[in-house]
Structure 1
Amino acid sequence: MPRKRPVSKTPKTCLHRQGYNFIAEGASAAVKPCMWCKRALRGGESCYKHQFYGIDTWKCVQMTPTLRCNQRCLFCWRSMEHEILSETELSPEEIVAAIPKMQKKGLSGDKPYTEPERWEEATDHPTQYALSLSGEPTLYSKLPELIDLLRENPNNSVFVVSNGTMPSVIRRIRPTQLYLSLDAVDESSYERICRPIGDPAAMWGNIQTSLSLLKQKEEEGVRTAVRITLVNEYNDTYEAGFAKIIEEAQPLFVEVKGYMYLGYSRMRLTEMHVPDMETIRRFAAGVAQLCNYEIMDENVPSRVVCLKRKS
């Protein structure tokens, strides 16, 4: 009889085995290089953010100041099943100081296959910071200060991916690019697909407030984007509803990204919920036709079509 694998006793133990490098004991701030960073480090393909926005993938740090989240989205591949219930918040200075060590640790297995110059760039001189690893970054109380600290170096860019439920924080942050996730068109569809923790009406209202701030953020020099995760049978017939919201919010970019059957989402959805690339193209074109946007580019490996606001 085969031996059973030991069960992880703590959420952090399980996440560490998945490649999360935690910055300090008792905190959930973490760094985890993505597969695209590793591929680009070895001289391979870069991610779609290089194609769309020009970032150097091997110099990108994927991180989070907190793993806490106030939604339980069905399509999320991340490990909400391993919930971090309490944590010690680290200061922005503690997080930034630990990033080089954590990034080197996460990429150590790739060093033998990497040119020395590229390795040094990736680990000692990263220029892109994606606050998108897991959790909701706006739940970290010092997020504005963390972003400002990361951007003190004029060569650095900072991308923040938020669910938009904390508009008071959205008002205060100044990243290079702000993504707001938009996966529903009304309170009912929001509750069904995003499964908020708290009052769905209040949280959906907060998302609308955050969307209304995008014009102001752009005036402040922040590049703005809305990301739609397309899931068959959940939100794949709402072109008109998404177009109406997008036309009001006026982000510079809209990414329509297909759900992928990965990670912990496989505990909630099936492969039938994965849209193929042609479905994503049709949906994106349908949204673009109903508002002042046009298709800018697409990336097939990541199943994403990017729309840009017409000038």
Structure 2
Amino acid sequence: MSLVELLKKQGYHIIGEHSAIKPCLWLGRSLKSQGACYKSHFYGIQSHLCMQMTPCIACNQRCLHCWRPVEEPYAVRSWDRPETIIEGCLKEQKRFISGYGGIPETDKKKWKDAFEPRHAAISLVGEPTLYPHLKELVALLGERGMSTFIVTNGTRPDVLEKVTPSQLYMSLDAPDRETYLKACNPVADLWDKVNDSLEVLGQRDSRRALRLTLVKGVNMKDPEGYAALIKKAAPDYVEVKAYMHLGYSRNRLPREAMPKHDEVLEFARKVADASGYRLASDVELSRVALVSKDGAVKALM
């Protein structure tokens, strides 16, 4: 089965040649006033106003902890224009939202507001920096009054120098080269590129965040090593999150590889102490902790 077929089976909607959108679990819960995702707790992103999408379903890493079918390669034949991707995503988002109108539990005001999303999480599947028109895509979303997150694996530092999202997220899933090659299984040794991207983040004056996804027995070690890399990037925030035993990752990792929340908190405190940061917040349901330079967090929206 091809990557596109596998993604469709999982509820992804393919846009054009290489983009995708999928309604987040928390979007539906937010519309029914049943809570919001940890990004809402940390950064003020309202889940029912968030559009989760990607401009590139292909990826240059095959991370053990990824819940997507990363084993299946995807070759892009031609690149769609940013306008085409945005219009396609907004059309599908509105179609998702319309289905909640007849549900009694739906907050009708939230439902009406949700037809005009205010945030784009460019983080769904694949590696967005492989899309050659990412800078233009972000700019066009901004012209629509939408804030943007870009979540990247940090393997394209040349792209990170050019893009200007509301917040730039970079995954940091290893404290050293050997662990990186094991945990992220890249198409080539891209560890030097990851380090270059940390340097790029350190030179930016816009909002930056690093995210550590912890896998017991793989990369949940050496908090001082992570701290040294964090100091290179000097991000505003560091998210320390448990690997979740979901999707296709269950074929690669045992359930025991998923840390408990108290283990995440303990590791986050060690990373914070070693890097000069402070614990700012945590969300037990998502097994995630947030550390920041001053122990505070400023809402994005």
Q: Which residue of 1 aligns with 2:5?
A: 13
Q: Which residue of 1 aligns with 2:292?
A: 308
Q: Which residue of 2 aligns with 1:98?
A: 88
Q: Does 1:216 align with 2:203?
A: yes
Q: Among 115, 118, 131, which residue is 2:122 paired with?
A: 131
User: Residue 151 of structure 1: SS of its match in structure 2?
Assistant: helix
User: For 1:67-86, what aligned pairs fall within 5 Å after superposition?
Assistant: 67-86=57-76
Tell me the C-alpha RMSD between the 2 structures: 1.4
Task: Give the letter for the 2:250 counterpart.
Answer: R
| Alpha-carbon distance in structure 1 between the residues aligned to 2:76 and 2:147 | 30
Task: Give the letter for the 1:11 counterpart.
Answer: L
Structure 1, unaligned runs of 5 or more:
1-8
User: Residue 196 of structure 1: SS of its match in structure 2?
Assistant: coil
| Alpha-carbon distance in structure 2 between the residues aligned to 1:19 and 1:105 | 13
| Alpha-carbon distance in structure 2 between the residues aligned to 1:14 and 1:111 | 29
User: Residue 111 of structure 1: SS of its match in structure 2?
Assistant: coil
Q: Among 22, 28, 45, which residue is 2:18 paired with?
A: 28
Q: Which residue of 2 aligns with 1:3?
A: none
User: For 1:27-46, what aligned pairs fall within 5 Å after superposition?
Assistant: 27-46=17-36
Q: Among 226, 237, 260, which residue is 2:244 paired with?
A: 260
Q: Which residue of 2 aligns with 1:65?
A: 55
Question: How far did residue 86 of structure 1 move?
Answer: 3.1
User: For 1:259-298, what aligned pairs fall within 5 Å after superposition?
Assistant: 259-298=243-282
The percent of aligned pairs where both chains have the same amino acid is 41
Q: Which residue of 1 aligns with 2:298?
A: none
Conservation of the 8 A alpha-carbon contact between 2:6 and 2:69: no
Question: How far did residue 108 of structure 1 move?
Answer: 4.3
Task: Give the letter for the 1:276 counterpart.
Answer: K
Task: Give the letter for the 2:197 counterpart.
Answer: S
Q: Among 193, 205, 221, which residue is 1:206 paired with?
A: 193
| Alpha-carbon distance in structure 2 between the residues aligned to 1:156 and 1:138 | 19
Aligned length: 293
| Alpha-carbon distance in structure 1 between the residues aligned to 2:19 and 2:201 | 27
User: Residue 235 of structure 1: SS of its match in structure 2?
Assistant: coil
TM-score by length of 2: 0.93
Task: Give the letter for the 2:55 counterpart.
Answer: P
Q: Find runs of 4+ consecutive structure 1 residues off by over 4 angstroms.
A: none
| Alpha-carbon distance in structure 1 between the residues aligned to 2:117 and 2:163 | 21
| Alpha-carbon distance in structure 1 between the residues aligned to 2:179 and 2:234 | 22
| Alpha-carbon distance in structure 2 between the residues aligned to 1:41 and 1:28 | 29
Task: Give the letter for the 1:304 counterpart.
Answer: V
TM-score by length of 1: 0.91
